[in-house]
Structure 1
Amino acid sequence: MIKIANILVTLTMLLFVVGCMSSGGTRIDNIPMYGQPEVHRPEVLQQADADFIAKASAGFGSREEASKVWWSQGERFMNSGNFDYAMRRYNQSWLLNPENYQPYWGFARVLMEQNKIDEAISHLETAEALVDDEYQKVALLADLGTAYTYKAKTEPSYFEKANQKFEESIQLDGSYAESRRRWAYSLFEQKDYSRAWENVEKANALGSKPFSPAFLSALEAAAPKRP
């Protein structure tokens, strides 16, 4: 663990200069894919990228493995609420392996927190096209269903897409409670209260995180639960 931590610190410092470059007042490493292809990558940063990739690949055996390590670091920051640092690690993960679905998923998670729904959907769809892990795909589809639900608040046609992704997630793994939980909230937004209740019950049976009291009260007011 100490060796891995030392490699991460050393290699991350190689790209410190990236943070000094900005786009509209925003650190370029806080923008997915460093703003590429729209933002030109200066030669000095291209060289820093190449050095980083070479050393990270050597440190972890391959670009693919190094990409996974940097993504996991992004997840650690994401889960602690440090979205800027999470985005920087996701960017490094992407730089190491643009064919890895994980950094695109990470980009989308940060963008959802920033209420940039359209951009988040774009990256989630890219992640879905690239994902090669059926286990992780279950949660990825639930996230995509959630993003489509947010989009449907302004474009209702996206509810159909949301339902499709939640259904696909459940078909892959019916024991993943979060898919049922997210779908219940989505179905409430669709005013499909009977199916919302159905998914509340199934999520609870699977040991889901508790639903918010406000949500359950609103659902009860809209359609009282049958005894």
Structure 2
Amino acid sequence: MKKLLLAATALLFCATTAFAQEQPGTPHPKVLPMFGNVPKTEAEQKADEKFLSSCDKSFSSRTEASSFFMERGWEYFNEGQIDTAVYRFNLAWLLNPDNVNTYWAFGLVENSKGNTADAIGLYERALKYQPKNSLLLSDAAGAYLKLYTENKKKKDLKKATAYLDQSLAADSKNAYALFNLSQVKFHEKKYADAWDYLHKSREIDMRTLDYQYLANLMAQMPDPTGLFKGEEQ
């Protein structure tokens, strides 16, 4: 009970910090990955020391504390409170810079904001810790695939394919990887293969299905299985 109370106290400490903007229209470093990678003032450094000291008293290790703040971050992320989530991820990173999940989370946030290149950098930083993590590989591949749709550079499609191959080698049932591979085949104009991978993905997890992509694929080639039918059918 004492440990839980101390943990709650540590959480309350960070929750009371305001996200004031440095300048109008400029996000506070607290809500940017790794605090925006900007030098901290003496006051900010002292605040960090106070926070770390509080966590040292609240948890058995900084690794445990880091995991605690990651969990709180995901809760806020899933509620759509992105700035608050990133701040929690930042605290988790401050506690344990080797926590792979912090870089993964930062990548997801940047990807959701449309900062694809930044997201890729963060995913690949996470991959240095877990190079065979199937889900992480498929997220990185998805970002490269998104980048390809933006600039049409073949090197990005090639990189996405390489990551997807590694992802499926680690877990052949990764529905997200299969769906992304379907999109790769679509861009390569291999529509039969695109349908095959789409169905494999759908059979594992219906949540991977993107109806805009489905419409685009049907416009190029009818579903060979007949499961999905266009208006003319």
TM tier, shorter chain? Answer: 0.7 to 0.9
Tell whether the 8 Å contact from 2:192 to 2:224 is kept in structure 1 after alignment: no
SS at match of 1:75: helix
Tell whether the 8 Å contact from 1:177 to 1:207 is kept in structure 2 after alignment: yes
Alignment of 1:102-141 (within 5 A): 102-131=101-130, 137-141=133-137
Alignment of 1:77-156 (within 5 A): 77-131=76-130, 137-153=133-149, 154=151, 155-156=153-154
How far the C-alpha of 1:144 sits from its partner, in A, is: 0.2
How far the C-alpha of 1:188 sits from its partner, in A, is: 2.4
AA matched with 1:57: D
Among 173, 185, 188, the alignment partner of 1:187 is 185
Structure 1: gaps spanning 5 or more residues: none
CA distance in 2, matches of 1:185, 1:141: 16
AA matched with 1:72: E
How far the C-alpha of 1:150 sits from its partner, in A, is: 1.2
CA distance in 2, matches of 1:145, 1:166: 6
CA distance in 1, matches of 2:171, 2:154: 27
Compare CA radii of gyration and give the structure with the larger one: 2
Paired position in structure 1 for 2:47: 48
Please provide the CA RMSD for this pair: 2.4
**Pair 1:211 & 2:209 matched:** yes
CA distance in 1, matches of 2:14, 2:208: 43
Tell whether the 8 Å contact from 1:146 to 1:186 is kept in structure 2 after alignment: no
Structure 1 residues 118 and 2: alpha-carbon distance in aligned structure 2, compared to 1, 3 A threshold: farther
CA distance in 2, matches of 1:164, 1:203: 18
Deviations 1:152-205 (A, max 9, x none): 121331011101111111111112222212332343244332221121121122
CA distance in 1, matches of 2:75, 2:162: 30
Tell whether the 8 Å contact from 1:159 to 1:190 is kept in structure 2 after alignment: no
How far the C-alpha of 1:2 sits from its partner, in A, is: 9.7
Give the share of equivalent positions with the same residue, in percent: 27
SS at match of 1:209: helix
**Pair 1:160 & 2:168 matched:** no
TM-score, normalised by the number of residues in structure 1: 0.87
Paired position in structure 1 for 2:176: 178
How far the C-alpha of 1:54 sits from its partner, in A, is: 2.3
Alignment of 1:13-24 (within 5 A): 13-14=13-14, 16-17=16-17, 19-20=19-20, 22=22
Structure 1 residues 190 and 68: alpha-carbon distance in aligned structure 2, compared to 1, 3 A threshold: farther
How far the C-alpha of 1:77 sits from its partner, in A, is: 1.6
Tell whether the 8 Å contact from 2:107 to 2:118 is kept in structure 1 after alignment: yes
* Residues matched between the structures, number: 222
AA matched with 1:32: P
Deviations 1:45-101 (A, max 9, x none): 111112212222332211111111111211122222221111111111110111111
CA distance in 2, matches of 1:222, 1:216: 10
Q: Which is worse superposed, 78-87 or 176-185?
A: 176-185
Structure 1 residues 41 and 200: alpha-carbon distance in aligned structure 2, compared to 1, 3 A threshold: same
Tell whether the 8 Å contact from 1:18 to 1:29 is kept in structure 2 after alignment: no
Q: Which is worse superposed, 65-74 or 175-184?
A: 175-184
Structure 2: gaps spanning 5 or more residues: 226-233
AA matched with 2:195: W
Structure 1 residues 2 and 197: alpha-carbon distance in aligned structure 2, compared to 1, 3 A threshold: farther
